[in-house]
Structure 1
Amino acid sequence: MSEWALLALCALTIGFSKTGIAGVGTLGIVGFALVLPARESTGAVLPVLIAADLVAITVYRRDAEWRLLTRLGPWVAAGLLMGVGYLAQADDELIRITLGVLVLIGVVVTAVVLPRREHLAEETEAGQADPPRRGLAGSVGVAAGFSTMVANAGGPPMVLYLLFQGLPVKRFVGTAAWFFFLVNVAKLPFSSGLGILDLDALTRAATLLPAIGLGAWLGVVVINRISRRLFEKVVLLLVALSAIPLLIG
């Protein structure tokens, strides 16, 4: 498979993740890191993510729980700054290994969270959900900010945080969509200043827009026509396997 064909497939999975099943997007992020040098891939995938985020917030434009996002804001900013400092010092090999480690941590967290998510969704519908965990905001915000700045891998901590807020499914997805859009936009000046986001990355993302759009459309069409539980398990396995080349070089 040619480099461009693989990048297009990665962009498609990222688009799909924003309107379908979030875990698929990690495959796309890892794919970028396997095609491009790890440091370069961190910046290259950012405009692709933002383009997909724009689709997601268009679909879920009225479904954000802004009080939760406001509570996370200062902590995420701290995590982003930590990530910037890390990227300024780390070489390509260390960034590649860090991405692999964060991906595997994300797999473990997601695997633990999935059963609880289904149980909590039932509690929420019955009006028995636990109250919001305010204490999670600090640790989750820093973790999400750092991991998304270094490896575009802030999904698992954010999903964990939203899970324990007892949100209805649509508001859950909408809040996550707005969170990642705002954070990814905030990363633009940092990524540019670090030299990992350049004109080539923007041009590449523009070329991949049709694949992103197709993936987003497939997410809307497919999500209600497959076994979500089985699909998520398959995705987790694929994501875990995809992290191995990053760790062993």
Structure 2
Amino acid sequence: MLSFPELSFYVTAIPAVIITGLGKGGMGNALGMIAVPMMSLTMPPVQAAAILLPLLLVMDGFAIWGWRQSIDWSVFKIILFPGLFGVFLGLMVFASLSEQTIRSIIGVIAILFCLNQWFGHYFHPPHKPGKGAGIFWSAISGFTSFGIHSGGPPLSVYMLPLKMEKEFLAGTMALFFGVLNLVKLPAYAALGQFTTNNLMLSFLLLPVCPLSVWLGMKMVKTVSTDFFYKILYISLFLTGVKLLSDVL
């Protein structure tokens, strides 16, 4: 039987989808990191991930089409297969974890990511990473992408120091996560996550997807993102703290 969501669902889900769409549009795939933690404030994280996956595929399609002329194939070849391996590893691990453990993992990743963004340059000065770094971080990206759709931050550790043109950065990451999210579909189905109710909730949020991706593509060409990112990092950090405090 279908059950329509309460207002609290929309309060967390709509901003989460909008922020993810802005990231898919080119404002940075790391923005998608906030979606599952934010939605986990009002629902189980596994359900949040299941609701988001069809929406991510829609957004990936718009982003790939929009940036189809801006893909660095040499970088894509380095990161694709390690990323797929990470997805497989994530399937093996996350299927056996409790909801509280997953909440803890999400909270820790969110907090550590923010701390690295704020203070990481004091410990590892930026330099152009090699192929080995690409293999390692794309595998970590696939792993975190499977369970909580947070593959953007690990991959950004490799991609950002390459100092690619922002259009090529957006296009390459869009194609990478498009392939990974497509591969995740049968795994989520096998785990029984695509219930009628979850698919209905995905459908309710669907209209937000193309608009947010389009807006992200416009913003990446015209808007300075520094202040935008500062607000999001603070929001993500507080969300991580809230998830950990709920578990503890």
Deviating beyond 6 angstroms after TM superposition, the runs of 4 or more aligned structure 1 residues are: none
Deviation at residue 101 of structure 1 after TM alignment: 1.3
1:17 equivalenced with 2:14 (yes/no):
no
User: Structure 1-normalised TM-score?
Assistant: 0.84
- Matched position secondary structure for 2:143: helix
| Amino acid aligned to 2:16 | C
C-alpha contact 2:45 2:99 (8 A) present in aligned 1: yes
C-alpha contact 1:66 1:175 (8 A) present in aligned 2: yes
C-alpha contact 2:24 2:213 (8 A) present in aligned 1: yes
2:227 to 215, 225, 230: 230
In the alignment, the residues of structure 2 paired with residue 60 and residue 223 of structure 1 have an alpha-carbon distance, to the nearest angstrom, of 12
In the alignment, the residues of structure 1 paired with residue 217 and residue 84 of structure 2 have an alpha-carbon distance, to the nearest angstrom, of 31
Relative distance call for 1:69 and 1:11 in structure 2 (3 A) is same
Aligned to 1:177: 174
1:55 to 54, 57, 62: 62
C-alpha contact 2:33 2:153 (8 A) present in aligned 1: no
Query: In the TM superposition, what are the counterparts of 1:147-166 in structure 2 within 5 Å?
Result: 147-166=144-163
Which deviations, in whole Å up to 9, do the C-alpha atoms of 1:161-198 show, x marking residues without a partner? 11233422211111011111111111111111122233
C-alpha contact 1:144 1:157 (8 A) present in aligned 2: yes
Query: In the TM superposition, what are the counterparts of 1:27-106 in structure 2 within 5 Å?
Result: 27-106=34-113
In the alignment, the residues of structure 2 paired with residue 163 and residue 191 of structure 1 have an alpha-carbon distance, to the nearest angstrom, of 30
1:219 equivalenced with 2:226 (yes/no):
no
Aligned to 2:7: 2
C-alpha contact 1:18 1:219 (8 A) present in aligned 2: yes
- Matched position secondary structure for 1:196: coil
Unaligned runs of 5+ in 2: 1-5
In the alignment, the residues of structure 1 paired with residue 121 and residue 20 of structure 2 have an alpha-carbon distance, to the nearest angstrom, of 20
Deviation at residue 203 of structure 1 after TM alignment: 2.5
Instruction: Count how many residue pairs are aligned between Structure 1 and Structure 2.
Output: 237
Relative distance call for 1:62 and 1:24 in structure 2 (3 A) is same
* Mean Cα deviation higher: 51-60 or 4-13: 4-13
Deviation at residue 87 of structure 1 after TM alignment: 1.5
1:208 to 201, 205, 208: 205
In the alignment, the residues of structure 2 paired with residue 106 and residue 59 of structure 1 have an alpha-carbon distance, to the nearest angstrom, of 28
Relative distance call for 1:3 and 1:159 in structure 2 (3 A) is same
| Amino acid aligned to 1:2 | L
In the alignment, the residues of structure 2 paired with residue 156 and residue 24 of structure 1 have an alpha-carbon distance, to the nearest angstrom, of 8
- Matched position secondary structure for 1:217: helix
User: Structure 2-normalised TM-score?
Assistant: 0.85
In the alignment, the residues of structure 1 paired with residue 176 and residue 116 of structure 2 have an alpha-carbon distance, to the nearest angstrom, of 19
Deviation at residue 112 of structure 1 after TM alignment: 5.3
* Mean Cα deviation higher: 156-165 or 140-149: 156-165
Unaligned runs of 5+ in 1: 121-128
Report the RMSD for the aligned CA atoms in angstroms: 2.5
In the alignment, the residues of structure 2 paired with residue 2 and residue 216 of structure 1 have an alpha-carbon distance, to the nearest angstrom, of 24
Which deviations, in whole Å up to 9, do the C-alpha atoms of 1:102-141 show, x marking residues without a partner? 22222233445799xxx98xxxxxxxx95x6111123112
Query: In the TM superposition, what are the counterparts of 1:67-146 in structure 2 within 5 Å?
Result: 67-111=74-118, 130=128, 133-146=130-143
In the alignment, the residues of structure 2 paired with residue 246 and residue 57 of structure 1 have an alpha-carbon distance, to the nearest angstrom, of 33
| Amino acid aligned to 1:158 | L
- Matched position secondary structure for 2:95: helix
- Matched position secondary structure for 1:61: coil
Identity score, percent: 24
Deviation at residue 2 of structure 1 after TM alignment: 0.9
| Amino acid aligned to 1:219 | G
